[in-house]
């Protein structure tokens, strides 16, 4: 790279470092343009995006139909607050409810807010429908969980870094080993209002709880009159080759939490989905958000969901995900511990001898492939779902080369 160009990137990195909180450790690639599965940095170098903004860009960067919906709506009205109605909210509700089969939707902005909304819904349902005594509601959660960064949510994480220095935390959560059915059976009691689970844990390294577990847990919820709350913020909207990852086990959460790809990367939109028995616990004034359900976000989300379905992205994820997983399994390296995943969501876990995933991500970046480590030892592969087989082959060549070079 020539030095004039590189100094432009260095200057921008310097501005971030000097004036921004250091709460991330990004790869030093300064992106200024993106289209589909490709991104360009300020130097004009092109990369294949193999992270898709943690699955928020399932539809590919700058999808023309979503962009047009954003532009058209920006010319009309962008924010009314929920003090008044707007003409985009109802059509979004109808589209999402008809697609997913749920009675109702409650929109928020970030994923963490939607998880908080699910927690509030479950607790209120517990008190008003199940009849749990005041302030006794319990929600079961799991080791390795990641549901966001609010103080309530990090309070039930078992990752020290997420919580250290941020207490005191909200009570009412019971942490269970992920995938351990016997532990779950023993944990339910009359105060259990719900179970909050990622059908596949993304931040933990694309780890599932084992075949049959989700279905069995759902059965326990039904047996104990508790709500199954599936956090599909990262696993949902096609990422695993079905609309929701829990659908692989024929499980339909009583509350489904969605976000990220709900707006195709254009605008933060999240939501919970539930049937009337649960959603009707909310009365005017119980819950809300100034931006939640705003017309700009609704127009974007409606277009984002429509293109996901109309353009066969969910099917593409299933088909090409299986293809890519098979290909990755042909790589011969004693530094690979395990390669696992569903659809276009694959975790490649390295052995301890590999010395961490970061250096592999740095090496892949040098070859034009943007991946990010999750935890210390796993490389996450999660390209936009519009990727083609040829583009996957292109990525595979680079991954194979990096393993040849680094072992």
Ligand X SMILES: Cc1ncc(COP(=O)(O)O)c(C=O)c1O
For the CB of residue 232, give the shortest distance to ligand X in the complex, in Å.
8
Q: Which of residues 247-276 bind ligand X (CB under 6 A)?
A: 259
The only residue of 36, 60, 111, 321 in contact with ligand X, by rule CB under 6 A: 111
Which of the following is catalytic: 130, 260, 302, 365?
260
- Name the residue whose CB lies closest to ligand X: 111
For the CB of residue 106, give the shortest distance to ligand X in the complex, in Å.
16
Using rule CB under 6 A, residue 148 touches ligand X? yes
Strands 173-176 and 138-142: parallel
Q: CB within 8 A of 14, min separation 6: which ones?
A: none
- Looking at the DSSP bridge assignments, the partners of residue 378 are 349, 374
The only residue of 112, 137, 278, 350 in contact with ligand X, by rule CB under 6 A: 112
45: annotated active-site residue? no
The only residue of 233, 272, 305, 357 in contact with ligand X, by rule CB under 6 A: 233
Using rule CB under 6 A, residue 50 touches ligand X? no
- Name the residue among 5, 2, 51 with its Cα closest to residue 30: 5
Point out which span in 5-13, 87-95, 196-204, 302-310 binds ligand X (CB under 6 A).
196-204
How many degrees, rounded to 5, is the angle at CA 196 between CA 195 and CA 197? 110
372: annotated active-site residue? no
Point out which span in 105-113, 173-181, 355-363, 379-387 binds ligand X (CB under 6 A).
105-113
- Name the residue among 251, 107, 118 with its Cα closest to residue 173: 118
List the strands of the sheet with 336-341, edge to edge: 336-341, 346-350, 378-381, 372-374
Using rule CB under 6 A, residue 231 touches ligand X? yes
Q: Which residue reads 């302030």 in tokens?
A: 135
Using rule CB under 6 A, residue 147 touches ligand X? yes
Using rule CB under 6 A, residue 52 touches ligand X? no
Q: CB atoms < 10 A from the CB of 325, how many? A: 18
Residue 391 has which token pair? 């583009």
Residue 385 has which token pair? 């779902």
- Looking at the DSSP bridge assignments, the partners of residue 257 are 231, 272
The only residue of 86, 100, 110, 317 in contact with ligand X, by rule CB under 6 A: 110
3-state SS, residue 318: helix
Q: Which residue reads 């490389």 in tokens?
A: 379
Which of the following is catalytic: 41, 49, 218, 231?
231
244: annotated active-site residue? no
Using rule CB under 6 A, residue 357 touches ligand X? no
The only residue of 41, 116, 198, 373 in contact with ligand X, by rule CB under 6 A: 198
Residue 139 has which token pair? 């929600």
Phi first, then psi: give them for residue 370, nearest 5 degrees. Answer: -100, 110
The only residue of 50, 102, 142, 146 in contact with ligand X, by rule CB under 6 A: 146
The only residue of 144, 202, 205, 347 in contact with ligand X, by rule CB under 6 A: 202
Residues at the contact surface with ligand X, assessed by CB under 6 A: 54, 110-112, 115, 146-148, 198, 202-203, 231, 233-234, 259
Annotated catalytic residues are 146, 231, 260
């Amino acid at each position: 790279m020539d030095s004039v160009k590189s100094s432009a990137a260095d200057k921008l990195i310097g501005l971030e470092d000097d004036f921004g909180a250091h709460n991330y450790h990004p790869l030093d690639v300064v992106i200024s343009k993106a289209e589909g599965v490709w991104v360009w940095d300020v130097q004009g170098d092109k990369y294949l995006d193999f992270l898709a903004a943690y699955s928020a860009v399932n539809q590919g960067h700058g999808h023309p139909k979503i962009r047009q919906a954003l532009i058209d709506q920006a010319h009309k009205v962008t924010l009314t607050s929920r003090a008044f109605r707007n003409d985009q909210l109802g059509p979004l509700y109808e589209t999402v409810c008809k697609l997913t089969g749920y009675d109702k939707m409650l929109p928020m902005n970030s994923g963490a807010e939607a998880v908080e909304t699910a927690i509030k819904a479950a607790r209120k349902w517990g008190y008003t429908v199940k009849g749990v005594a005041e302030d006794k509601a319990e929600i079961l959660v799991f080791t390795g969980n990641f549901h966001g960064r609010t103080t309530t949510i990090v309070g039930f994480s078992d990752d020290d870094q997420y919580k250290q220095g941020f207490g005191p935390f909200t009570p009412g959560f019971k942490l269970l080993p992920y995938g351990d059915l016997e532990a779950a059976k023993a944990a339910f009691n009359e105060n259990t209002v719900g179970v909050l689970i990622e059908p596949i844990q993304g931040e933990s390294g694309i780890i599932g709880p084992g075949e049959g577990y989700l279905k069995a847990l759902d059965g326990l919820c039904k047996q104990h009159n508790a709500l199954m709350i599936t956090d599909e913020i990262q696993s949902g909207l096609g990422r695993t080759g079905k609309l929701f990852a829990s659908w692989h086990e024929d499980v339909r959460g009583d509350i489904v939490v969605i976000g990220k790809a709900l707006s195709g990367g254009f605008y933060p939109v999240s939501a919970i989905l539930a049937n009337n028995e649960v959603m009707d616990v909310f009365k005017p004034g119980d819950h809300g958000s100034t931006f939640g359900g705003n017309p700009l976000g609704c127009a974007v989300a409606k277009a984002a969901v429509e293109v996901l379905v109309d353009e066969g992205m969910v099917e593409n994820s299933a088909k090409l995900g299986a293809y890519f997983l098979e290909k990755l399994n042909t790589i011969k390296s004693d530094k690979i511990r395990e390669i696992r995943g569903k659809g276009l969501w694959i975790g490649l876990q390295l052995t301890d001898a590999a010395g961490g995933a970061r250096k592999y991500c740095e090496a892949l970046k040098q070859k034009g492939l943007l991946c990010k480590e999750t935890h210390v030892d796993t490389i996450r592969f999660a390209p936009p779902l519009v990727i083609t087989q040829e583009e996957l082959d292109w990525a595979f060549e680079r991954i194979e080369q990096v393993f040849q070079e680094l072992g």
